């Protein structure tokens, strides 16, 4: 039986630290490992994209200013680059992650191409492109137009699929394809990573990883850990995608200087998740929350707010703990309980790892995208 023909796939994503960019980069790398040719298009090389790979190319988008414009524009140069790469590389698929401006730029790029040159456009929604921008009258109509004109639309959770329909009044099919993680093997042992952080065996290492945007509620995170009575029993490691400087005054006010460890723009997250005991997520909204899933693969259970798609990742109370959003006291109580009962959190970590490995691996998720690509290519233009 002949193997299926490799595909030529363009991937458009934000290059910064965040769930959408990390997922898009991981997907591209997995597709390349499966024999497809992958072309990343963005204004910078994506955060976790390797420098050298025989089947991966990076095409930078030049953002230039002009005296005519008050603000630099990204959508137009992005659409031109997308059309250019589609034509030169004869792309089969243009997979855009995040509706604004990627899906809108993709639809514009198609209009620059002859019908035979046009790749199929797959748009993946990741969250705030629907839940925040979608309700903004300055963006909503453009997002809705781009989704209706895409060949296929996916969402990373059933929550996000439902929110997209509710907020944008979208009637077209939206396929739910969950996020996945391809866990790397840590280069250091758990003991070595904890030693580098200055965390002893008897100390519980809490971990939070995010881009620190307002929706992540770092203020609530700090307030919750400040309510833990015995501060000698824990340290909080923050893997910061952006500058932590705006929160330093709050750390001082709460007297948490000795409890907080900050590591900016970490590539090797496996070194720290494998050393951690409890993940913390305090967001007001999450479409999925990739950082929870990353922790699960290293047997690190999370205490998280019960919002958005998080209950689709932490199901029941055997793989993690959920509390009501904004409740610092409940967060502190749940964290304290797991600190005080290491046996419980270790059992919870093992259950979390098992659940992640049975639901959210590349071997399960990537073939769903491949099937989607081939289905769309097979349709008449």
Residues 6+ apart with CB under 8 A from 41: 10, 11, 12, 59, 61, 78, 81, 82, 85
Global pTM reads 0.93
Selected from 3.40.640.10, 3.40.50.2000, 1.10.3720.10, 3.30.830.10, the CATH number assigned to the domain covering 8-182+361-378 reads 3.40.50.2000
pLDDT tens for the chain, 381 residues: list them. Answer: 345 899 999 999 998 767 889 999 999 999 999 999 999 999 999 988 888 889 999 999 998 766 666 667 889 999 999 999 999 999 999 999 988 889 999 999 999 999 999 999 999 999 877 766 656 777 788 889 999 999 999 999 999 999 999 988 899 999 999 999 999 999 999 999 999 999 999 999 999 999 999 999 999 999 999 999 999 999 999 999 899 999 999 999 999 999 999 999 888 899 999 999 999 999 999 999 999 999 999 999 999 999 999 999 999 889 999 999 999 999 999 999 999 999 999 999 999 999 999 999 999 999 999 999 999 999 987
Domain made up of 190-359: CATH architecture? 3-Layer(aba) Sandwich (3.40)
What is the pLDDT, as a whole number, of residue 134? 56
What is the pLDDT, as a whole number, of residue 300? 98
What is the pLDDT, as a whole number, of residue 1? 32
Domain with CATH 3.40.50.2000 in the chain: 8-182+361-378, 190-359
Residues 6+ apart with CB under 8 A from 145: 104, 107
Q: Alpha-carbon distance 288 to 279, whole Å? A: 15
Instruction: Judge residue 140's burial from the number of C-beta atoms within 10 Å of its C-beta, 0-12 exposed, 13-18 middle, 19 or more buried.
Output: middle
């Amino acid at each position: 039986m002949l193997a299926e023909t490799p595909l030529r796939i363009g991937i458009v994503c934000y290059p910064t630290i965040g769930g959408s960019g990390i997922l898009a980069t991981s997907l591209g790398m997995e597709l390349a490992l499966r024999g497809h040719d992958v072309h990343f298009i963005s204004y910078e090389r994506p955060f976790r994209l390797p420098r050298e790979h025989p089947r991966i190319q990076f095409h930078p988008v030049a953002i230039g200013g002009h005296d005519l414009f008050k603000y630099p524009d990204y959508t137009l140069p992005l659409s031109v680059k997308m059309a250019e790469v589609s034509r030169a590389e004869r792309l089969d698929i243009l997979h855009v992650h995040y509706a604004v401006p990627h899906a809108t730029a993709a639809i514009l790029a198609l209009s620059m191409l002859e019908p035979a040159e046009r790749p199929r456009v797959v748009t993946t929604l990741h969250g705030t492109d629907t839940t925040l921008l979608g309700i903004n009258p300055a963006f909503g109509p453009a997002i809705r137009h781009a989704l209706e004109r895409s060949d296929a639309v996916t969402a990373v959770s059933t929550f996000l699929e439902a929110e997209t329909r509710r907020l944008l009044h979208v009637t077209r099919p939206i396929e739910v394809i969950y996020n996945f993680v391809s866990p790397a093997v840590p280069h250091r042992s758990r003991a070595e990573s904890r030693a580098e952080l200055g965390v002893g065996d008897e100390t519980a290492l809490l971990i939070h990883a995010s881009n620190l945007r307002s929706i992540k509620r770092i203020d609530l995170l700090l307030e919750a850990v400040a309510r833990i009575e015995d501060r000698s029993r824990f340290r909080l490691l923050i893997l910061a995608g952006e500058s932590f400087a705006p929160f330093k005054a709050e750390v001082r006010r709460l007297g948490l200087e000795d409890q907080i460890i900050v590591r900016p723009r970490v590539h090797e997250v496996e070194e720290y998740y494998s050393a951690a005991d409890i993940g913390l997520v305090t967001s007001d909204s999450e479409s999925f929350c990739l950082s929870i899933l990353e922790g699960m693969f290293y047997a690190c259970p999370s205490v998280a707010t019960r919002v958005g798609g998080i209950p689709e990742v932490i199901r029941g109370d055997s793989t993690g703990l959920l509390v009501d959003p904004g409740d610092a006291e409940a967060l502190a109580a749940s964290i304290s309980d797991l600190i005080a009962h290491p046996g419980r959190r270790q059992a919870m970590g093992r259950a979390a790892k098992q659940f992640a490995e049975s639901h959210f691996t590349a071997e399960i998720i990537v073939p769903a995208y491949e099937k989607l690509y081939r289905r769309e290519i097979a349709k008449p233009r």
